[in-house]
Amino acid sequence: MTEQPSYEPESLRIAAVDLGSNSFHMMIAEEFQGEIRTLEKRGEKVQLAAGLDNQNYLSEDAIQRGVDCLAQFGQRLQGMNPDRVVVFATNALRAARNRRAFIDRAEEVLGYPVEVIAGREEARLIYLGVAHTQADDGGQRLVVDIGGGSTEFIIGERFEAKALESLHMGCVSYTKRYFPDGKITAKQFRQAVSAAKQELLNIKAHYRHLGWQSEIGSSGTIRAVEQAIVSNGWGTDGITPEALKNVVDHCLLYDTVDDVDIEGVKPDRRQVFVGGLAILVAVFETLDLKHMRYSDGALREGALWDLVGRSGHEDVRTRTIASMQERFYVDTAQAERVEQTALALFQQIRGDIHARVELAQWLRWAARVHEIGLSIAHSGFHKHGAYLLQHSDMLGFTRQGQMLLAILVRNHRRKIHPEELELLPTRQQGIALWLIRILRLATVLNHSREAYDVPLPEVSIAQDTLCLALPEGWLDNFPLTAQDLEEEADLQKSAGLKVEFR
């Protein structure tokens, strides 16, 4: 989300950039008759997770590796409509305490916003990418994606995910933790497998209860294992427990991770191969898998399909908002009144505040959930609502998106907290303050909850002053609304903002 003006895309090109904990990937494609045609794929081993220290701070070297990679990607993305480019960061940046430093530099060289996604959102997108590479037949499937810092597990059928989990174990983090000096021993390997099994206990019972008919793996680790099996003649069709044991036995012949030389495994994969292999062994043993095949579909493909859906009628974020309204017993009639007023005010001043038309959707979503905190308590319900929005699993939303919604709801009434805008990327802060002011006025104007009709005011901007004009004499006839508006003007004044009524 930026303050740049809207413009028409020159083509049907779309792009997704996946900032994984081990590798960065870019995929450029084109929509064509309901399908996605790949135009270009690029990937580079950045090993961002390897740059995290014990306090979860990214090293300067790791940041620079990532920035250098994105500078190259940025050259290929120049000129594309920002609404048709998504850049998602996963576990390494979820964990990094100094991720803001990385994101600011990354956005500068890439030219597009970098969004951090939660583990379950990552799992949803992975499943979407895998599902579009599979035959549309019946039966539930288990999808496993071993990344650099996390492993995602999904059970779904066709294009619908029914269970989503992200566990804190990945090929980079496990190699770093259990093979810290690079040496490989059978004991260290067993310790890594045991640790992964402990993590899997969190989902074992639930996933086995749901059940599945087929197993699919995505990501570099599973692809490398399958290629090693085929290249060495240990199997011809996917991964089996017997073939997996052959891969393990072969790896244990080597003294260090750098020595691992196994046909089918690329040199740049070998340094983290053993850590990922230990996780895969634990998955097979814990979930009692007999066979797994590899799929090319992954996060970036899912991100592209999700992007296509947003331009049509399948935006999962709208469904997520509706689900939250239902879960927290929102008065949808009141939410709709606030939404319609807020959108009408926004349209009147959009040009003056240099806001892209797409920003209306954030105002719409905030209006729909601005009262979810009432399900907890009336006192401070705006604070309760903000907490729910910030910390819930909201499919389709990035971490920054959830923070934006939380800040809008947190500041839609009572005291305004401009300092909270610093929690947002710099590019969002100025426009977010205008969205807050609009939402507040829409809420005040609908305070009566339709006890009487409230005319839509004419709104304009004089420098940073928000000017509202209501029909002559109307405020005299409705003194309670007049009082609410005066109190709102005082609250905005306390935050250094100015509102005038004419």
Distance between CA 495 and CA 429 in Å, rounded? 15
Distance between CA 475 and CA 381 in Å, rounded? 28
Largest CA distance in the chain: 89
Distance between CA 351 and CA 266 in Å, rounded? 53
Distance between CA 409 and CA 411 in Å, rounded? 5
Pairing of strands 214-218, 141-146: parallel
pLDDT at 7: 40
Burial of 5 (0-12, 13-18, 19+ CB in 10 A): exposed
Distance between CA 143 and CA 136 in Å, rounded? 15
Residue 465 backbone zone (phi > 0: left; psi -120 to 50: alpha; other: beta): beta
All residues at 6 or more sequence positions from 481 whose CB lies less than 8 Å from its CB, including other chains: 444, 445, 447, 448, 454, 475
Beta-carbon-side half-sphere exposure of residue 390 (alpha carbons within 13 Å): 16
Distance between CA 400 and CA 100 in Å, rounded? 11
Query: What is the CA 204 to chain-centroid distance, rounded?
Result: 25
Which DSSP string do the residues of 128-176 spell out, in sequence order? HHHHTTS---SS-EEEEEE-SS-EEEEEEETTEEEEEEEES--HHHHHH
Distance between CA 265 and CA 227 in Å, rounded? 7
CB 143 within 8 A of CB 294: no
pLDDT at 313: 58
Q: Is 311 helix (H, G, I), strand (E, B) or coil?
A: coil
Comparing C-alpha atoms, which of 286, 285, 272 is closest to residue 184?
Answer: 272
Comparing C-alpha atoms, which of 424, 427, 426 is closest to residue 403?
Answer: 424
pLDDT at 2: 40
Burial letters for 138-163: b for 16+ Cβ neighbours within 10 Å, e otherwise?
Answer: eebbbbbbbbbbbbbbbbbeeeebeb
User: Mean pLDDT by 10-residue block, N- to C-terminus, for the chain (502 residues)?
Assistant: 42 90 94 84 92 94 97 93 93 94 94 94 95 82 95 94 95 93 95 98 96 94 95 93 97 93 88 95 97 92 88 78 95 96 96 90 97 96 97 92 97 96 89 97 93 89 91 90 94 94 82
Provide the whole-model pTM. Answer: 0.85
pLDDT at 5: 40
pLDDT at 9: 44
pLDDT at 4: 43
Q: Is 26 helix (H, G, I), strand (E, B) or coil?
A: strand
Angle, in degrees to the nearest 10, between helices 220-231 and 267-286: 100
CB 232 within 8 A of CB 222: no
